[in-house]
Amino acid sequence: MSGPWLFSLGAVVAFGAALWPISLALRNSGIVDVFWGLFFVAIAAVGCAFGDGDPSRAKLVLVLTAAWGVRLAAHIALRGRGHGEDRRYAAMRANHGRHWGLVSLPLVFLLQPVLAWIVSLPVQAATNLRVGEFPRWTDAAGAAIFVAGFVFETVADLQLTAFRRDPANSGRVLDRGLWRLTRHPNYFGEFVLWWGLGLVGLTTGAWWSLAGPALMSVLLLRVSGVTLLERTIGERRPEYARYRATTNAFFPGPPRPIRRTS
C-alpha cells in the first residue's frame, strides 16, 4: 500500500481529527454524523486527483460517492437542527463522564474516518487501479445498482421527513410507502448502493475491495443501524410492536398478516 492509498487515509483521519475540537466547543459529538458521508467524498476526491486508475472510472465513482455523501450530510444536518446531541452520543458522554472529551477523539473522531476508509475500498480500487477499457459491463451494472439503492434511500428519507413534520404523527410509526415493505428502507438503500460501488471496484480485479461493502453491511445490520435503533424504538413508539410483527426488518417484502391467538 502506498501513494494515494496512504494519502487518502491520512487526509480522512486528519479531517476527522479536525472535527474533534469543534465538537468539544459545541459539546456535541454528534456532529461527526453530518460529516460521515463527506469522509467518503474526501477519499474519492483524493483518489480521483492522485490515483493511477482509469480517469473515466475514477470520475464515475467520484460523482456517485459525492451524490450519496453530500445528500446524506445535508439530510442528517437538517434532521438534527435544533435537537442537540444525538441520544447515542449523549449516552456515551454520560457513561464516560468528564473523560468523554479525551475518549471521543479515538472512539469517534479517529475510528469513524478509518471505518470510512475501509468501507470505501471499492472506490479506492476504481480510482487507483488501471485495467482495460472503460466502461465494462460491471461498471454499468454497478452504477445502475448504485442508482437504484440511492433512489430507494432518498425516497425513504423524504417519506420519513414528511411524516415527522406532521404533529399528528407524534409518537406514531410510519407504515406507508417504502416503510410498508421494510422497517428500515433507508438502510436497505444504503446497503444496495454500496454493493453497486463494490461491483465497480471489482471491475479492477480487486476482489478484496468487497470487504468495504461487507463492513458497511455489518455496520447497518449489527452495529449502528438496525440493531441499535430497534433496542429502544419500541419504548418510544408503542405502535412499533404491531409494525414489527407485520413488516420485514431489512429486506423488502409484502406485509404479513397479524397472527391472532384464540
Q: What is the pLDDT of residue 157?
A: 97
Q: What is the pLDDT of residue 1?
A: 57
Domain count, the chain: 1
Confidence of residue 56 (pLDDT cuts 50, 70, 90): very high
CA separation for the pair 151, 95 (Å, rounded): 38
> Domain span at residue 130?
4-246
CA separation for the pair 125, 205 (Å, rounded): 9
Q: Answer whether residue 146 shows pLDDT above 80.
A: yes
- Cβ(220)–Cβ(195) under 8 Å? no
CB atoms closer than 10 angstroms to residue 231: 9
Q: Average pLDDT of the chain?
A: 92
User: Cα(first)–Cα(last) distance of the chain, in Å?
Assistant: 64
Q: Answer whether residue 261 shows pLDDT above 60.
A: no
Residue linked to cell 444536518:
77
If we measure between CA atoms, which residue out of 180, 174, 261, 183 comes closest to residue 227? 183
CA separation for the pair 237, 202 (Å, rounded): 42
For the entire predicted model, the pTM comes to: 0.92
The whole-number average pLDDT for the span 60-89 is: 93
186 located within any domain: yes
Q: What percent of the chain has pLDDT over 70?
A: 97
pLDDT digits over 209-238, tens only?
999 999 999 999 988 878 878 777 766 777
Confidence of residue 260 (pLDDT cuts 50, 70, 90): low
253 located within any domain: no
Residue linked to cell 410483527:
245
120 located within any domain: yes
Q: Residue 63 corresponds to which cell in the numbers above?
A: 460523482
133 three-state secondary structure = coil
The whole-number average pLDDT for the span 245-258 is: 90
Residues 6 or more apart in contact with residue 249 via CB below 8 angstroms? 182, 183, 184, 226, 230
pLDDT digits over 117-128, tens only?
999 999 999 999
Q: Answer whether residue 203 shows pLDDT above 50.
A: yes
Q: What is the pLDDT of residue 262?
A: 46
Nearest-5° Cα angle at 205, 199 to 209: 60
199 located within any domain: yes
Residue 176, amino acid: R
The whole-number average pLDDT for the span 88-108 is: 94
241 located within any domain: yes
Give the relative orientation of helices 185-202 and 55-80 as an angle to the nearest 10 degrees: 160
pLDDT digits over 21-54, tens only?
999 999 999 999 999 999 999 999 999 999 999 9
Q: What is the pLDDT of residue 234?
A: 67
Q: What is the pLDDT of residue 39?
A: 98
42 located within any domain: yes
Q: What is the pLDDT of residue 231?
A: 78
254 located within any domain: no
252 located within any domain: no
